[in-house]
Structure 1
Amino acid sequence: MGIIGSTIQPFTATAFQAGKDFFDVSDADVAGKWAVFFFYPADFTFVCPTELEDLGEHYAMLQKLGVDVYAVSTDTHFSHKAWHDTSDKIGKLQFPFLGDQNHVLARNFGVLREGQGLADRGTFVVDPDGVIQIMEITCEGVGRNANELVRKIRAAQYVRNNPGQVCPAAWEEGSDTLAPSLDLVGKL
Structure 2
Amino acid sequence: MSLVGKEVLPFNAKAFHKGEFIDVSEQNFKGKWSVVCFYPADFTFVCPTELEDLQNEYATLKEMGAEVYSVSTDTHFTHKAWHDNSEAIGKIEYVMIGDPSHVISRNFDVLIEEEGVADRGTFIIDPDGVIQTVEINAGGIGRDASQVVSKLKAAQYVRNNPGEVCPAKWEEGGETLKPSLDLVGKI
Amino acid at match of 2:11: F
Q: How does 1:76-91 map to 2 (within 5 A)?
A: 76-91=75-90
Q: Give the number of equivalent residue pairs.
A: 187
Aligned-pair CA distance for 1:18: 2.2
Which residue type is aligned with residue 66 of structure 2?
V
Partner residue, 2:13: 13
In the TM superposition, residue 115 of structure 1 has moved relative to its aligned partner by: 1.9
Secondary structure of 1:159's match?
Answer: helix
1: CA distance between counterparts of 2:78 and 2:34? 23
1:145 counterpart letter in structure 2: D
Write out per-residue CA displacement over residues 34-71 of structure 1, whole angstroms, 9 at most, x where no aligned residue.
11110000000000000001000000000001101000
Which structure 1 residue ranges, 5 or more long, are not aligned?
none
* 2:116 paired with 1:117: yes
In the aligned structure 2, how far is the partner of 1:65 from the partner of 1:121? Answer: 23
Q: SS at the partner of 2:88? A: helix
Which residue is equivalent to 1:56? Answer: 55
Residue type at the aligned position of 2:138: C
CA distance in 2, matches of 1:157, 1:6: 17
Describe the superposition over 1:127-184 as per-residue Cα deviations: whole angstroms up to 9, x where unpaired.
Answer: 0111110000000110001111100000000000000000000101000000000111
Deviations along 1:48-102, whole A, 9 cap, x unmatched? 0000010000000000011010000000000000000000000011001000000
Give the whole-Å Cα distance in 1 for the aligned partners of 2:69 and 2:132: 16
Matches within 5 A, 1:139-158: 139-158=138-157
Corresponding residue number in structure 2 for 1:45 = 44
Counterpart of 1:82 in 2: which secondary structure?
Answer: helix
Structure 1: which amino acid aligns with 2:4?
I
Deviations 1:98-131 (A, max 9, x none): 0000001000000000121100000011101111
Question: What residue number does 2:74 align with?
Answer: 75
Identity over aligned pairs, percent = 62
Q: Distance in 2 between matches of 1:23 and 1:129?
A: 22
Q: Which runs of 5+ in 2 are unaligned?
A: none
Provide the rounded CA distance (Å) in 1 between the counterparts of 2:98 and 2:115.
Answer: 16
Whole-angstrom CA distance in 2 between matches of 1:23 and 1:148:
28
SS in 2 for 1:187: coil
Deviates more, 1:126-135 or 1:28-37: 28-37
